[in-house]
Structure 1
Amino acid sequence: MYKLKEDYHITAPGSPVTTGLMARQLKIDIGPENFVINPVVLPHQGIDVILGMNWMVENDAILHVGSRESKVTGKILKVHIPEQKHLEATVNTSELQEIKKIPVVCDFPDVFPEELPGFPPDRDVEFKIDLVPGTAPVSRRPYRIAPNELKELKTQLQEQLDKGFIRPSSSPWGCPALFVEKKDQGGKGLCVDYRPLNAVTIKNKYPLPHIDILFDQLGGAKVFSKFI
């Protein structure tokens, strides 16, 4: 293993990674066949080796996904294709492991705190939602939830009260809350069902930018502040 003259920026499963190490003359076995490769080393767990396009072209490799076979240098080899669940788990794990290693996050810890310190200061312009004229206050009764979810709801509400993020209210407006499973971190996330309020909200008709135009404008960029 040796140090490269320049770092490689690679799009790996989960998120882009940077590496500056390469393993030389690494021997791998695919079935009865032996190959020698010079792969770069990635900080990634769950996948042993990724054989890219250069290797496939060099060895005239052809993949048959349906039969799970590959043809390399004229010989048919059986290959193991992992299930989709394994790949999804690998992607999610990579995202969670790499977020703390991003240089911008490390350089500005005050901008990316683990916990929010509180509400932002009062601004000259306050946010408001414009409703259809004549709309009466929208109020919906709470959804029926299981006892364990009710316990979790009380816990999360108390945490928000203690942090000062919410406060008791007697407003005539009200929307029910429900829990959704957190795919990345596990556990239950509290979600407020604002669909009744959205139905009487005056929509902002400002046209959204075309996604292809954004990609053209941001090609090659590494740090993004905001979209205009």
Structure 2
Amino acid sequence: MDLPPLSFHASLGKEEPEEIETFLKVVPPAYHQYLDVFSKVKAEKLPTHCACDHHINLQVLLPPVGVIYSISNDGSETLRTYISGNLEKVFIKPSSSSTEAPVLFVKSKDEGLCLWVDYHKLNAVTRKKRYPVPPMNQLLTVFNGFHYLFQHRSAWCM
């Protein structure tokens, strides 16, 4: 049996040997070179972020309209855990926006609480950027013969 590349074992260094063996058994040998995708350690990290600010332009700033609901102790604890965990991983950042998205909790199959963020209110006050889209036949003419396309202005550095 071919062993996966060294980067796989290096990336899984903090994981249990049983998990590595499970990966080797479950994933077909043809895909062992991609085993690092299943690493829990790598899943906790995002790609390097470029130094650029992203702003969501809002329509006229109005005071929030809606009912404020109280959260149960379980919901409050779940929310605190979610926010602190994702702030540590840098999956989320503190916001300076004057608009918020309501947070709801749904019972999960294991009787725990699942966090659900309702972005409908935020989307309702976001100023949409609309650009004219060229006709499809014009796009096909322009991109005919291209082998590789890339996004020039990306939020993430490669």
Task: Decide which structure has greater strand share.
Answer: 1
Structure of greater relative contact order (alpha carbons < 8 Å, 6+ residues apart): 2
TM-score category by the smaller chain? 0.3 to 0.5
TM-score normalised to structure 1 length: 0.34
Q: Which has the higher helix share?
A: 2
